Structure 1
Amino acid sequence: MEYTANPVIRNIEATRKKKGFTMKQIADHCGRSVPWYADIAKGRRRVYLEDMLLIAESMNEHPKNFFTKKLSETHSSNKSA
């Protein structure tokens, strides 16, 4: 598997693997092909909001769980530096 610098995609993939879902199961739920999902997982394709919502739904997850920090937390930590 290729490395992606996108933390959201890394979290999506970590969740998928932890829950035991295959790329095919996610792609099927989204009405897409396995290469479509594989390209997202490998950082070769952008994930759009509509797709992220379907991916989250396919794993019974809330999309917010794919994000590591809130914008306000990031902004606050930059102020104190």
Structure 2
Amino acid sequence: MSFVYLKIEEIRKRKGVTKSHIARSCGHTPQWYSKVSKGEIVLDVNKLELIASILEEDVKNFFDNKLSDTLNLSIKKLA
């Protein structure tokens, strides 16, 4: 089973986006995002869409077991 918060964290780390950046872009504190990243806060659809936008991902990728083509290409470039 894949939890959405784990997928968000996987994508965030691979893209090199900080927790603080996501938190501030969502209008929250880094402490808020820390709770999100641990699954202590359940995100509503609006926050999921906002985080997807910040990470330049389609929100469906938070629910998919496969990474997007865009993310896979960017990861290959880093390797």
Q: So what's the TM-score if we normalise by structure 2? A: 0.75
Q: SS state of the match for residue 10, structure 1?
A: helix
Q: SS state of the match for residue 57, structure 1?
A: helix
Aligned match of 2:74 = none
In structure 1, C-alpha distance between the alignment counterparts of 2:4 and 2:41, rounded to whole Å: 13
Deviation at 1:6, TM superposition (A): 5.6
Using the aligned pairs only, state the percent identity. Answer: 37
The equivalent position to 2:14 in structure 1, one of 18, 32, 41, is 18
1:56 aligns with 2:52: yes
List gaps (5 residues or longer) in structure 1: 70-81
Deviating 4+ runs (over 2 angstroms): none
Aligned match of 1:73 = none
**How has the CA–CA distance of structure 1 residues 6 and 36 changed in structure 2, closer, same or farther, with 3 Å as cutoff?**
farther
The equivalent position to 1:40 in structure 2, one of 12, 36, 40, is 36
Aligned residues: 65
Q: What root-mean-square deviation, in Å, do the aligned CA atoms of Structure 1 and Structure 2 show?
A: 1.5
List gaps (5 residues or longer) in structure 2: 66-79
